[in-house]
Amino acid sequence: MLTEIRKHCADLLTRKQVAAVYGLRERDGHTAPYLFTRAEDLDGLTVGTKVPVTFTLRPAKKNIISAFQEKCPGQKIAVLVRGCDERGLYEVAKRGQIQVADLAIIGYACDADQARACHCPRPHPQNLKFGEKVQGPSNEAFIAKIVNMSVAEREAFWRAQFSKCIKCYGCRNSCPVCICKECWMENDAFSPTGWLPPDFPMFHFVHFYHLSDSCIECGACVDACPMDIPLNLIRKVLSKKVQEELFYTAGQDPEEKPPLASREEAKERLEKGI
């Protein structure tokens, strides 16, 4: 698959169909997002790692695509995406961060092992060009662990988990869809500077709630957490509730409005039967 992808991208660049190809590059044992402008660099192009392509740059709260589009408006770039990457692009597009129309989205499927490692329910993009679709593991089975606990057991479970938190902000900083310039997780009224571990559950409540209708279940926050706090247990409970209650799944359609932040189509959503 990798050889085909490289060839395809080289074609796009040499035929000048795109100004650049945005994907992952491996160099000196490290993998990071990279904007390829020369076909000869493409032998460093890699796929299938857990590094997200649409991560947010701090402190500017932008991503590489939005930075590019600001500098070179209207120029087309190709973006190599997995399912989660594509969902992330759509979520930031909904919030006016990038122009999807100026992107050539080239998707590839993750295999069953990768899907399992990320607990990913949809391990393939809509713009699938390379690889075969596989079924992701079930969220239901994954969240059963906390769903089956009593309220008091859950409190004890999360108190123990969050007491490990060192407030490194890794969960927030790694998130591809977390874009607010002013962050409530830094608000002293909620979680004063210098208090460790943060008070249960204020700091984490903000993270969970504020991404509840934009979380694309990429797992980047869990991977980033140095204390192995299973943040995705709650993420997936919330995604399910948002689907059931608001008939909405994040990352499906860049034209949709995020339900918890939009007044415009509140009425229509309500008329759908809430």
Contact set with ligand SF4 (CB under 6 A): 165-171, 174-178, 211, 215-221, 224-227, 229, 232, 235
Note whether 20 and 36 are within 8 A (CB): yes
Least distance in Å: CB of 166 to ligand SF4?
A: 5
The interaxial angle of helices 202-210 and 231-246, nearest 10 deg, is 40
The item of another protein, ligand SF4, none sharing an interface with residue 225, based on CB under 5 to 8 Å by kind, is ligand SF4
Nearest to 108 by CA among 258, 6, 222: 6
Contact residues toward another protein (CB under 8 A) are: 146, 149, 151-159, 184, 189-190, 192, 195, 197, 199-202, 204-206, 208-209, 212-213, 233-234, 237-238, 241-242, 245-246, 259-260, 263, 266-267, 269-270, 274
CB of 198 to another protein, least distance (A): 9
Residue 130 binds which entry of another protein, ligand SF4, none, CB below 5-8 Å type-dependent: none
Minimal distance in Å, beta carbon 134 to ligand SF4? 19
256 vs 180: CA distance, rounded Å: 19
Phi then psi for 198, rounded to 5 degrees? Answer: -60, 150
Which lies closer to another protein via its Cβ, residue 8 or residue 269? 269
Q: How far is the CB of 30 from another protein (least distance, A)?
A: 36
Partner whose binding site includes residue 267, from another protein, ligand SF4, none (CB under 5 to 8 Å by kind)? another protein
CA distances 134 to 26, 87, 131, Å, are 26, 17, 9
**CA–centroid distance for 25 within its chain:** 19
Does residue 24 sit in helix, strand or coil?
A: strand
Alpha helices (H) in the chain, listed in sequence order = 2-14, 64-71, 83-94, 112-118, 139-147, 151-162, 170-173, 202-210, 220-224, 231-246, 266-271
Is the Cβ of residue 54 or residue 191 nearer to another protein in the bound state?
A: 191
Over 174-191, what HEC string results? CCCCCCCCCCHHHCCCCC
Query: Which is closer to another protein, CB of 101 or CB of 274?
Result: 274
Question: Which of 86/217 has CB closer to another protein?
Answer: 217
Residue 7 or 159 having the CB closest to ligand SF4: 159
Cα–Cα dist 242/218, whole Å: 17
Minimal distance, residue 206 CB to another protein, in Å: 6
Q: Which option in ligand SF4, another protein, none does residue 229 bind, with CB closer than 5 to 8 A by kind?
A: ligand SF4
Contacts of 186 (CB under 8 A, 6+ apart): none
Q: Which residues contact 228 (CB under 8 A, 6 or more apart)?
A: 164
Measured from the CB atom, the residue of 41 and 186 that comes closer to another protein is: 186
Q: How far is the CB of 97 from another protein (least distance, A)?
A: 22
Q: Which is nearer to ligand SF4, 8 or 95 (CB)?
A: 95
Min dist CB 88 to another protein, Å, is: 21
